[in-house]
Amino acid sequence: MQSRSNNILSRLDWVVVFIWMALMAISVISIYAAVYDDEARGIFDLSTRSGMQALWIGVALIIATFTLIIESRFYYVFAQILYGLSILLMIATLIFGREINGNKSWLYVGPIGLQPVEFMKLATALMLAKIMSPHSFRLQHFSDFMKALMVVAVPMALTFLQHDTGSALVFTAFIIVFYRAGLKPWIIMTCIFLIFLFILSLLLTEEATLILLGGLVLAIFMVTTRKFKLGFIGVAIIAAITCTLHYFLLLFDAEFELYESLLIAYASILPFAIIYALWNKLQYVLLLVGLFVLSVGLSFSVDYIFDNVLKEHQRNRINDTLGIVSDLKGAGYNVYQSKVAIGSGGFLGKGFLEGTQTKFNFIPEQSTDFIFCTIGEEWGFIGSLVVVGLYLLLLTRILNIAERQKKLFAKLCGYGVAAILFFHMGVNIGMTIGIMPVVGIPLPFVSYGGSSLWTFTILLFILLKLDVARYE
């Protein structure tokens, strides 16, 4: 037993462990500053949030130890059971959960509250790695792709039903695992393009969106086929049809919109584009036509999705983030105060317990979702840079660990851990500085909370255990 412990300690990636411990130390200090008041109770007083966080860190140390002691094969063999139990917990939360801040994502057993979606992320990472690790698995096969997709889609759907949009979006980060398992890059680029199109459709008018889409498709066509002359002729024809139609249609209907004429012009030229592609056997032109039609359909459905699918507070947050509406007393209050706090920290910060925005409780949820603004105000640009640097070093180290694994299961687990941590870090810091909508997800190892801390710890130390086991 002693020899086994020595082997684990000698083979452990201590750089990752030290970063983990540093982030947790920053957590206790920052939470103490966020909840500090004139009573000045001790930092480890269990009646304060900093004291409770220190207690949960103690539990996390025990969890990390047990995670390292457990046989590495356990995580592969029992991945399905852990996934199934997590799904059952998610369903139980839907039925028996307590609603907090509009989210029915908390399950209470007496005074103890847990957020099952945090453990669901862990189970999904393990299950996805297990599904994809057999040599017979091919992501290009439809059945294999759907099997892997359902592993992510089911917990994501259950999380949406709990009205926890932020946690549901975390599951989209698993696209990184799909990519490492062989997902074609163009699929990922198409997803990014559609997200970009969704944002553009909110910011631009219908006419501007259609012109931009048409111009993009024509530009791709001209670059790939080198038919620049044909492309310019296409632009001229579309412009001529649009102007002529709009002039004559306005004679009959004064309310006829320009984008409607533009749509008719596009519809009239599309059949000729399809015939040209078929005649010259240019399949990618057909793909461009299909992408264009899909993009136009999505663009014109954005308003319906935005108004009927998203909730009012979600619409307000997106509007505020994109600058469509500025509501500093409503949806934009948290972000505005957060940016004031971070900006007021300057280069070196105001000093420990000297943050005025922090001390006078201007920022709601400052010890949880907005903990980064405490760091920015009290430790300034340098302190913020240190924290971001620790995260970047941790992510780089995790990816290095993943790539040196001999077993595909361990490699994909590593990418799953990196995906979850990257999404949480990027979105949480992004929303505190106003470049992301406020979706309410914690900053890994730093935000106040036991469920998220323990989940991130288990994820990290499972990977470390798998890394230790590669010597076996």
Per-residue pLDDT 10s for the chain (472 aa) are 555 666 777 788 899 999 999 999 999 999 888 887 766 677 888 888 888 999 999 999 999 999 999 988 999 999 999 999 999 999 998 888 877 766 777 787 766 778 888 899 999 999 999 999 988 888 888 889 999 999 999 999 999 888 888 888 899 999 999 988 888 887 777 777 777 777 777 777 777 777 777 777 777 777 777 777 777 887 788 788 777 777 776 666 656 677 777 777 877 878 878 887 787 777 777 777 787 788 888 777 877 777 776 777 677 767 666 665 665 555 567 777 778 888 888 888 888 877 777 666 666 667 778 888 889 888 989 999 999 999 999 999 999 999 999 899 999 999 999 999 999 999 889 888 877 777 778 899 999 888 889 999 999 999 999 998 877 6
Are the C-beta atoms of residues 338 and 365 closer than 8 Å to each other?
no
- pLDDT of the residue at 458: 94
Strand order across the beta sheet in which 98-100 lies: 98-100, 103-109, 112-114
Cα dihedral sign, 16-17-22-26 = positive
Give the number of residues written for the chain: 472
Half-sphere CA count of 174, side-chain side, radius 13 A? 27
Phi/psi of residue 198, nearest 5 degrees: -60, -45
140/186 Cα distance (integer angstroms):
13
- pLDDT of the residue at 362: 65
Cα dihedral sign, 387-14-413-61 = negative
Q: What is the pTM of this model?
A: 0.83
Hey, which residues does 98 pair with through a beta bridge? Answer: 106
Are the C-beta atoms of residues 288 and 220 closer than 8 Å to each other?
yes
* Cα–Cα nearest to 400, from 388, 387, 418: 418
- pLDDT of the residue at 324: 59
Q: How far is CA 368 from the centre of its chain?
A: 17
Are the C-beta atoms of residues 317 and 165 closer than 8 Å to each other?
no
The neighbour count for residue 128, using CB atoms within 10 Å, is 26
19/407 Cα distance (integer angstroms):
25
Structure tokens at 335: 């972000």
* Cα–Cα nearest to 291, from 402, 214, 185, 382: 214
The neighbour count for residue 273, using CB atoms within 10 Å, is 20
Structure tokens at 95: 């039925």
Are the C-beta atoms of residues 402 and 368 closer than 8 Å to each other?
no
